[in-house]
Structure 1
Amino acid sequence: MQVGREARTDDLVKVDTPDVLNEEEYREFWVALDNDEIKVGKGGDIEPFMQCPIPEPFTITHYGYSTGWGATGWWQFYGDKQLTTEDCLTYNFEPAYGDSVSFSVACNNDAHVALASGPEETTPMYELFIGGWENQHSAIRLNKGDDMIKVETPDAVCSDEERKFSVSFKDGRIKVGYMDTAPFMEWTDPEPWKITHVGYCTGWGATGKWQIHI
């Protein structure tokens, strides 16, 4: 399997992937674009089997799909995942492919996001509180201890409309912001670790409707 330049010249990376496809069954894959790097992995695997930096980064707006060299293909694509959370502060975990996630949420207050090393609450773990403290502040907390940073974010979330957010966590640098804007909160962990799952929940009187962008 190869990743090639748009001009179809040299491959950026080429790895051995024996029998990675099969015409008798669907095989699931994911592609992540993070921090000017392309990552490709198998469904259910956190680690990519192929990755490379983009030497001349550009804005990617569309994806294309094809088969060739004697092959025809049948494809299925996964869209946004919808999630409803109760007022219970219990995280719903999903795999993290790459070094960032984006989502939309509608709630009165306290949209909580956990960054963990497994599909459950772990140590270490980061918690991101968006619209906490009666929807007036947001914070990043480490291991359910002290807040590493707390900022004013009046009316950050709203139950009447979905607000779109993005979270990145490359090399322990946590950034939280509205989609396509500069982050309103960030903190760097001096001892970073591998994040494999992201959890979502609401609490403190709030329920939430989420769309997780896959």
Structure 2
Amino acid sequence: MDYTIDVNKYNLDLSGITSLVFEVKRCGRTHVLLSSSDVRNSAEPMYEIDIGYNNYDTFIIYRSDDSLDHESRKYVNFPTPDIFNCTMYYPFWISWKEGDIKLGSGIVIDDNILGYLTNAPQFEVKAIGVLTDYGELGSWRIQFEGNFEALNI
């Protein structure tokens, strides 16, 4: 989590929220980290959404800690070909209520579901981090209270 942009620095009150809407313009893989720790301690439980792994797959991961033990991770992967766009913003949403973590396209929660992980342990999200991967630049717009804030990463 050391290389993520901390969304919390925008004074977002995360108490009770169960979804995130964002747009991203990038040429490569991106990540969204949803942490149970308000100081983004990677040893604490977290959800990780890895969009565009190997230019084709997306992973939704529940991690109980930062170990590499198989027992500490539960995940699902699904194909998401042609999900990159270097010149336009692509909208996504993430929902994490009732133990189901879902990723979809667009800005309407529960529409256009791309994939989901069911029966993940549920926790209150206290910190959100975003990053683009492997030296790729990206621009993010994250929706706060109905408005999009721009982040250049």
TM-score range, shorter chain: 0.7 to 0.9
Q: Determine if contact 2:35/2:127 at 8 Å carries over to the other structure.
A: yes
In structure 2, do the counterparts of structure 1 residues 162 and 140 end up closer, same or farther at CA, with 3 Å as the change threshold? same
In structure 2, do the counterparts of structure 1 residues 92 and 176 end up closer, same or farther at CA, with 3 Å as the change threshold? same
In structure 2, do the counterparts of structure 1 residues 164 and 173 end up closer, same or farther at CA, with 3 Å as the change threshold? same
In structure 2, do the counterparts of structure 1 residues 147 and 129 end up closer, same or farther at CA, with 3 Å as the change threshold? farther
1:33-52 matches, cutoff 5 A = none
Q: Does 1:163 align with 2:81?
A: no
Q: Secondary structure at the match of 2:98?
A: helix
Q: 1:106 aligns with which of 25, 29, 44?
A: 25
1:125 alignment partner AA:
M
Q: Percent identity among equivalent residues?
A: 25
Residue equivalent to 2:56: 136
Alpha-carbon distance in 1 for matches of 2:47, 2:60: 7
Residue equivalent to 2:151: none
Alpha-carbon distance in 2 for matches of 1:92, 1:189: 28
Q: Determine if contact 1:93/1:119 at 8 Å carries over to the other structure.
A: no
Alpha-carbon distance in 1 for matches of 2:3, 2:56: 22
- Tell me the TM-score normalised to structure 2 length: 0.73
Alpha-carbon distance in 1 for matches of 2:74, 2:136: 21
Residue equivalent to 2:80: 153
- Structure 1 stretches of at least 4 aligned residues deviating more than 6 Å after TM superposition: none
Shift of 1:119: 3.8
* Unpaired runs of at least 5, structure 1: 1-87
In structure 2, do the counterparts of structure 1 residues 190 and 201 end up closer, same or farther at CA, with 3 Å as the change threshold? closer
- Tell me the TM-score normalised to structure 1 length: 0.54
Shift of 1:170: 1.0
Residue equivalent to 2:46: 125
Alpha-carbon distance in 1 for matches of 2:56, 2:3: 22
Residue equivalent to 2:114: 184
Residue equivalent to 2:129: 199
In structure 2, do the counterparts of structure 1 residues 165 and 107 end up closer, same or farther at CA, with 3 Å as the change threshold? same
RMSD: 2.1
2:121 alignment partner AA:
E
In structure 2, do the counterparts of structure 1 residues 169 and 190 end up closer, same or farther at CA, with 3 Å as the change threshold? closer
* Unpaired runs of at least 5, structure 2: 9-13, 145-153
Alpha-carbon distance in 1 for matches of 2:76, 2:19: 19
Q: Does 1:208 align with 2:141?
A: no
User: Which structure has the greater CA radius of gyration?
Assistant: 1
Shift of 1:89: 7.5
Alpha-carbon distance in 2 for matches of 1:208, 1:119: 24
Q: Determine if contact 1:130/1:157 at 8 Å carries over to the other structure.
A: no
Residue equivalent to 1:67: none
Of structures 1 and 2, the one with the larger relative CO (CA 8 A, separation 6+) is: 2
Which of the pair is proportionally richer in strand?
2
